[in-house]
Amino acid sequence: MRRRLTLPLVSAVLAVAASLMMATPAAAAPADKPQVLSSWTQESVTSYNAWLSARNNQGAWSAYGFDWSTDYCSSSPDNPFGFPFSTACARHDFGYRNYKAMGTFSANKSRLDSAFYADLKRVCAKYSGATKAACDSTAWTYYQAVSIFGVSPMVDGTRSVA
């Protein structure tokens, strides 16, 4: 008698466990996703390098569900006057897309734009003289454009300036 009672009980417990497992999203992002995203979208060179390393090894971060897509500098040149701004634009897109997806874009936009400007200034720091001045001026223009006109790219059907 004991065996007959145990078997239905075990079956019921397994059925409940299976239904709970199906109800839990298999692709749920780790709880520290906001902290990781924040660490990759700061103004510092350390933050930039951490993001770049992760971007080059996206598979290691797949559980987080980050949106790595980019249109680089949108409708602006990615490398204006030969200045390589495309990676800075890609990181800016990363921040915009992922904060928008988390619903916290507005609270982070200003910092994302400032980090973008810091990235552009690091590009310009490699130059000197009139070339550096031209790069700095172009970087300022790109920063002002995203600061004033930047919106969440492609997430809400619009495009950003950078």
The answer to whether residues 159 and 74 touch, using CB atoms and an 8 Å cutoff, is yes
Instruction: Give me the amino acid identity at 144.
Output: Q
Per-residue b/e over 127-151, b at no fewer than 16 CB within 10 Å?
A: eeeeeeebbbebbeebbebbbeebb
Nearest CA-CA partner of 88 in 49, 59, 61: 49
Selected catalytic residue, list 92, 97, 100, 109: 92
Nearest CA-CA partner of 112 in 84, 131, 88: 88
Active site residue 46: no
Half-sphere exposure in the Cβ direction for 117 (13 Å, CA): 17
The answer to whether residues 86 and 117 touch, using CB atoms and an 8 Å cutoff, is no
Nearest CA-CA partner of 139 in 118, 120, 122: 120
**Residues carrying an active site annotation:** 92
